[in-house]
Amino acid sequence: MEIPCPMRIATETMGGRWRPGILWRLMDGPMRYGELRRGMPWISEKILIRHLRDLEAAGLILRTDHGTQPPQVDYRLTEAGQTLGPVLTAMAAWGAGRSAAGAERLGA
């Protein structure tokens, strides 16, 4: 029996180009779909919806439909999603360091 690689499990569940950013934004609390969309204008609507569904299926976020007209839907991290807080914080710190290092190299 093959033992699954823990890094593969982690990257397949929450990895990819956009999923960490979605999870990062939800760390501050529930957000409506429109808030997420405005906060990530570089993601197409189709891709954002697909990733939200994938993250929900993985048990990392919870989608709540309030059953109103117009539709009001919000997303929040589940307990499992909240456990990613330290990982996402470390990734953001690393990204900020890379951004600062890049600015220094360019003389900014």
**Of 12, 104, 103, 13, whose CA–CA distance to 55 is shortest?**
13
HSE of 79, CA atoms in CB hemisphere, 13 A: 0
Task: Return the SS3 of 76.
Answer: strand
CATH number of the domain residue 39 falls in: 1.10.10.10
Does residue 107 form part of some domain? no
pLDDT tens-place string over residues 54-103: 999 999 999 999 888 888 899 999 999 999 999 999 999 988 888 876 55
Q: What is the extent of the structural domain holding 10?
A: 6-102
Question: Is residue 1 situated within a structural domain?
Answer: no
Total domains in the fold of the chain: 1
- Assigned domain for 16 exists: yes
The model's pTM is 0.84
Residue 95 CA to residue 45 CA, distance in Å, equals 25
Residue pair 38/29 in contact by the 8 Å Cβ criterion: no
Does residue 70 belong to any structural domain of this protein? Answer: yes
